[in-house]
């Protein structure tokens, strides 16, 4: 299978081979888990929910909770009203969540189920207890990707739950985008060090990276609470980290409650993190940068100066989610590397435009493509090899057959551990990425170099 990829490239308009994305409901389910006391609910067949849960579980190495409407042949023909009504009754009776976040699947979207109407009728019939909340997002798998689903569910949370009392709070709402729990934890650490009151939405830290104390908890202590989410309508401003995953939510909040939105890219590398820190200064008492943050930045810059010679004009292939790929490309350029192949499986002309802005002055012949796949990336590499691949677990097939180091980042990472505990955002996260990248290159050199170049000290 690994050697079946050919050098001869034929343009494919409909077929994707080893796609560099997955479906909307997975992103919606992940966003829902960032609400404290929330039960994600898949309105569709049982198999869909099982796949989405297992994919997230394999990545985070944590049990992912979710329920399903369990469509049968009858529901597939006549609609899922009875299934969702019974499901909501069972969920609140058995699990007693504070909120249920319903996301649709291909099947319920094709049927055309009107979820808000079904939920309203379920409430009237007593299936939804007084004081309990049900929200929904439309997330058909045949449109978009997990990135779209994450953005749609986060925007739905804002539409359903954010409230405005008329009294502006001295806080900012931070939309972190589709990143690891450790990344959300690092973003919060930086914000706290800057002395800025905030609400993060969603927030999976403490939910999918919690400790083991011998007791199973259906709803871990992490996640944004309902009072916090409601208060976002009174925030002084919002900061959105990522064009594809976070900007839509911030713009929804701005449209609904006139909360000014600051739209940034994900804080990867030096420049990306600098932009985030400088934005926080506007809301920080005194406007000073915390000494701990300055020290983190200094360590990163020192490490870059120590290791930059190893990256000079190294050819890199980057694949993954659009917001993260943009961040990694920016950081690779800071290191002096040349990202020559850059792809994402998601759709978005803004992705190609932004990557061209970054690469055209430095790597004008770089190949950049949205809605691409790992098969096409492999074909490019077969024709002109690279020194290292930066991608998720699915990049390992290309890495193995071409004997090219792989640095695993993004979603999903199914064959390694630790990614949910160690950030890649911020100055601290950039140091970790730098360490992984350097070691990958060194390991390849030690494994393949001639004996006279096999050095004790690199």
Per-block mean pLDDT, blocks of 10 residues, the chain (458 long):
81 87 96 98 94 95 94 80 95 97 93 94 96 96 94 98 94 97 98 97 94 87 96 97 98 97 98 98 93 98 95 97 98 98 94 98 97 96 97 96 96 93 97 96 90 83
pLDDT for 4 equals 82
**Global pTM?**
0.95
pLDDT for 452 equals 82
Catalytic residues: 106, 110
d(CA 315, CA 392): 18
- Between CA 302 and CA 306, with CA 303 as vertex, the angle to 5 degrees is 90
Determine contact, residues 299/427, Cβ cutoff 8 Å: yes
pLDDT for 1 equals 52
- Residues 6 or more apart in contact with residue 305 via CB below 8 angstroms: none
pLDDT for 75 equals 76
- Between CA 91 and CA 100, with CA 96 as vertex, the angle to 5 degrees is 60
Six-digit token pair at 155? 């925007």
295-453: which CATH architecture? 3-Layer(aba) Sandwich (3.40)
Six-digit token pair at 286? 């005194």
DSSP at 136: E
Integer angstrom CA distances of residue 158 from 24, 30, 145, 198, 277: 18, 16, 20, 15, 25
d(CA 43, CA 109): 9
Query: For the chain, which residues make up each domain, given as ranges?
Result: 24-161, 169-208+216-289, 295-453
The yes-or-no answer to whether 24-161 and 169-208+216-289 have a common fold is yes
Give the closest residue to 111 by CA, choosing from 59, 45, 30: 45
Give the closest residue to 103 by CA, choosing from 62, 63, 58, 160: 160
Distance linking the first and last C-alpha atoms of the chain? 36
Determine contact, residues 219/153, Cβ cutoff 8 Å: no
- Residues 6 or more apart in contact with residue 18 via CB below 8 angstroms: 373, 374, 375, 394, 397
CATH top-level class of 169-208+216-289:
alpha beta
Start-end of H helices in 258-317: 269-281, 291-307
- Give φ, ψ of 243 to 5 degrees: -60, -45
CATH of domain 24-161: 3.40.50.1980
For residue 70, cis peptide bond before it (omega within 30 degrees of 0): no
Determine contact, residues 162/253, Cβ cutoff 8 Å: yes
């Amino acid at each position: 299978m690994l050697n079946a990829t050919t050098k001869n490239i034929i343009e494919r308009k409909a077929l994707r081979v080893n796609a560099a994305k997955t479906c909307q409901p997975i992103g919606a389910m992940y966003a829902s888990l960032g609400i404290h006391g929330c039960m994600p609910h898949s309105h569709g067949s049982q198999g869909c929910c099982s796949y989405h849960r297992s994919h997230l579980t394999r990545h985070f190495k944590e049990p992912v909770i979710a329920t399903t409407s369990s469509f049968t042949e009858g529901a597939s023909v006549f609609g899922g009203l009875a299934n969702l009504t019974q499901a909501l009754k069972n969920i609140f009776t058995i699990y007693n969540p504070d909120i249920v976040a319903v996301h649709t699947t291909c099947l319920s979207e094709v049927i055309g189920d009107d979820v808000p109407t079904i939920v309203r009728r379920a409430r009237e019939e007593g299936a939804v207890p007084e004081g309990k909340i049900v929200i929904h997002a439309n997330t058909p798998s045949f449109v978009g990707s997990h990135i779209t689903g994450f953005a749609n569910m986060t925007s739905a949370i804002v539409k359903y739950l954010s409230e405005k009392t008329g009294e502006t709070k001295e806080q900012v709402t931070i939309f972190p985008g589709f990143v690891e729990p450790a990344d959300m934890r690092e973003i919060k650490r930086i914000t706290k060090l800057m002395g800025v009151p905030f609400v993060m939405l969603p927030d999976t830290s403490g939910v999918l990276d919690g400790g083991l104390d011998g007791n199973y908890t259906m709803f871990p202590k992490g996640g944004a609470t309902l009072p916090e989410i409601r208060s976002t309508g009174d925030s002084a401003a919002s900061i959105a980290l990522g064009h594809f995953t976070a900007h839509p939510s911030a713009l929804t909040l701005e449209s609904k409650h006139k909360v000014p939105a600051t739209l940034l890219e994900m804080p990867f590398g030096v420049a990306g993190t600098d932009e985030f820190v400088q934005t926080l200064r506007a809301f920080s008492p005194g406007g000073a940068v915390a000494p701990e943050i300055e020290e983190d930045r200094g360590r990163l810059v020192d490490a870059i100066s120590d290791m930059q010679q190893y990256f000079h004009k190294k050819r890199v292939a980057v694949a993954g989610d659009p917001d993260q790929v943009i961040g990694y490309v920016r950081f690779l350029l800071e290191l002096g590397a040349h990202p020559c192949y850059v792809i994402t499986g998601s759709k978005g002309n803004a992705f190609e435009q932004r990557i061209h802005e970054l690469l055209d002055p430095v790597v004008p012949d770089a190949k950049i493509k949205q809605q691409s796949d790992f098969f096409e990336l492999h074909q490019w590499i077969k024709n002109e090899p690279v020194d290292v691949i930066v991608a998720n677990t699915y990049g390992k097939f290309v890495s193995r057959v071409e004997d090219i180091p792989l640095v695993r980042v993004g979603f999903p990472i199914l064959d390694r551990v630790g990614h949910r505990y160690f950030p890649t955002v911020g100055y601290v996260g950039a140091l970790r990425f730098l360490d992984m990248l350097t070691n990958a290159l060194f390991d390849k050199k030690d494994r393949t170099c001639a004996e006279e170049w096999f050095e004790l000290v690199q």
